[in-house]
Amino acid sequence: MTDVRHVAVIDIGKTNAKVALVDLDTSSEVASRRQPNRPRMDGPYPHHDVEALWAFILDGLAGLGREHPVDAISVTTHGATAALVDAGGDLALPALDYEFDGPDRLRGAYEAVRPPFSETGTPALPAGLNLGAQLFWLQKTFPEAFAKARVILPYPQFWAAKLTGVVASEVTSLGCHTDLWNPGARDFSSLVERMGWRELFPPPRKASDELGPLLPAIAVRTGLDPATPVLCGIHDSNASLLPHLLARKPPFAVVSTGTWVVAMAIGAASTPLDPARDTLINVNAFGDLVPSARFMGGREFELLMEGHSEQPSDDDLAAVLDGHTMLLPSAIAGSGPFPGRHAQWVGAEPHGGARHAAVSLYLALMTTTCLDLIGAEGIVVVEGPFSGNKPYLTMLEAAGQRPVVTGERESTGTSMGAALLARKARSVIASSDREDVGVGLETFRRYAAAWRSAVAAR
């Protein structure tokens, strides 16, 4: 598919869903359609609204196809999600929302069968963040419905299968804190064998593999060429990472921001990972191991800003820095580098632009902690919504003493990375210059030192 230029990307994030058209020749997102992605609370447990998403995807593809050529389709989604599909192609059980705490009710029994961190690089995470824990809970809680499943599909491959009728697994989704994959052996983990799930997983395919053309009914519904190829698909954080793997020389780190902030280190210093602090091994699109750490930064930002979006002025930022008004971790407990802690303000709780500044500095210091935990070295590339947050970027550079650049603003890293699966050429990574925030880096460094001392004192 070396002549592919325009790729329609289905990008299902935990908070928002998007169908975008990426022009690979210009490395830009030329059109997109978006909608919120909200779980359904009916049925046996909270679950992803697959029907609403499917209608949105089909409408989005049809809309893009009316306005632009579509040479290929690629899929990228959040992790910690799988679909259990029955013999008729329907869901045997709803696709569980990983924020649902049902799997914790069988945590003791699950811990008795889950593989060690040394095998999978997967830390023990709450709720359904370990996909293996989801499957275990579903099998034990709904044994008759689970027994109807004929295939288990990682979330990107579920959507690709709905488009093509072809089933597959893929390592970036299998290898992101699931307990299901042994990255060293490049094979399924002992849990999959122990639970008898191996026959339910299709053989892994490369993220860039063409699964097939569109099903005839899908081609009719969308108006796209029936020969349009659909790629296997990729986990969203690894989609953000892929362009940089193709274009940059190690060492470097990529920080993918969205509902989750995921820090991934390439060519990192040899650093023992601490599973108790939400460090883990991701598996990239080539099957290689990537030391990673993460926290729910986008969700924390939404929670802390309480619907307000007043941008900080230079005076707001200076007042926060000089007054050492700061937020200590964690706004969302249970994951991230400080999973057992609860947020606490030092100084008077700020409002307006000052609150935005203080929250941005907190998120940057949490990100810096993640980068330190995985031994990151070299340049740090920030992708996604936080790439436009100047206080965040400046604190990230000052606290970590690593150069920080941002990806091209016109397209998110996930969409670009997913689109690049259609072309095996080297990508061109455009960086954006950041405006000076009006405050010296030394002021940021003093604030960072005070934050670290306050965290250590707790």
Which pLDDT tens digit goes with each residue over 359-387? 999 999 999 999 999 999 999 999 999 99
Amino acid at 408: E
pLDDT mean over 222-250? 95
**Which is it for strands 261-266 and 344-346: parallel, antiparallel or unpaired?**
unpaired
pLDDT mean over 428-444? 69
Q: What is the mean pLDDT of the chain?
A: 94
Nearest Cα to 60, choosing from 6, 11, 4, 1?
Answer: 11
pLDDT at residue number 38: 96
Residue 433 above 90 pLDDT? no
- Name the pLDDT band for 440 (thresholds 50, 70, 90): confident
Q: What token pair was written down for 131?
A: 């996909």
pTM of the model: 0.89
pLDDT at residue number 1: 58
pLDDT mean over 16-31? 95
- Name the pLDDT band for 408 (thresholds 50, 70, 90): low
Beta bridge partners of 8: 21, 73
Helices 441-457 and 352-373: angle between axes, nearest 10 degrees: 70
pLDDT mean over 91-99? 98
pLDDT at residue number 409: 45
pLDDT mean over 268-279? 92
Kindly report the number of other CB atoms within 10 A of residue 426's CB atom.
Answer: 10
Residue 329 above 50 pLDDT? yes
pLDDT mean over 166-187? 97
Q: What SS3 class is residue 242?
A: helix
Q: Give pLDDT tens digits for 116-126.
A: 999 999 999 99
> Boundaries of CATH 3.30.420.40 in the chain?
6-232, 237-457
CATH number of 6-232: 3.30.420.40
Q: What SS3 class is residue 240?
A: helix
Nearest Cα to 79, choosing from 136, 157, 183, 160?
Answer: 157
pLDDT at residue number 447: 97
Residue 411 above 50 pLDDT? no
Q: Give pLDDT tens digits for 286-328.
A: 999 999 999 999 999 999 998 887 899 999 999 999 988 999 9
pLDDT at residue number 458: 83
Beta bridge partners of 154: 82
Q: What SS3 class is residue 197?
A: coil
pLDDT mean over 380-404? 95
pLDDT at residue number 191: 98
pLDDT at residue number 432: 60
Most confident of 104-118, 394-408, 429-443: 104-118
Q: What token pair was written down for 307?
A: 């619907």
CA 258 to CA 262: how far, in whole Å?
A: 9
Class of domain 237-457: alpha beta
